[in-house]
Structure 1
Amino acid sequence: MELTKTAQFTDEDILMARYAKALGHPARIAILRVLLERKACICGDIVDELPLSQSTVSQHLKELKDVGLIQGDIDGKKVCYCINEQVWKQAQETLGALFQRYTSCDSSCC
């Protein structure tokens, strides 16, 4: 069995890429903003906030949930979504560490 190219990267790099991919769509950023503002949401409320169909919002919610940034609890026929605090903090630390590595260049930089 052949190893995939991702096996050549660190677990941290792979995790960071998963977070970045999940954050890589403006609809997902908008969903996260709604959840951050309200602390919890029912899917229908999120649909009311975005210019997208229910099915499209559901697809974006699934992507965010798959990476663990959000979690959802079933309440009858509705699913209540909120930020997964533990994973959110991990993503914050992981992505923040990358940005903190930057130091200003001297004039020899491009």
Structure 2
Amino acid sequence: MTYFMIQRCTACGAAGYPRRTLCRRCLADALVDEAAGAGRILAVARLHRSFEQAFADRLPMLIGTVLLDAGPHLHCFLAPDARAGDRVGIACVADGDGGILAHAEPEG
């Protein structure tokens, strides 16, 4: 398991995702990687259908928007009992097809 990474500008302090070559706020190229390990769920949606066979076997499943403590929003897969307002930790896991997926699990 790996952590979800964002970029932080050392010139102005802005956090950004997805990765860029310049800061979105001040256009400096002084960006460093930072782990974004936790946040709060803003919205939850339940998926009942998928065209991807890898996901079809796991339906229904929850996806949601998480406001990371570091600043950016992240769309990710959620634990089955997740609710809007819950505190979650973010982890990136391999999906078996060579991809990496962000998952949010309850803290503690």
Report the TM-score, using the length of structure 1 for normalisation.
0.21
Higher helix share: 1
| The structure with more radius of gyration | 1
Higher strand share: 2
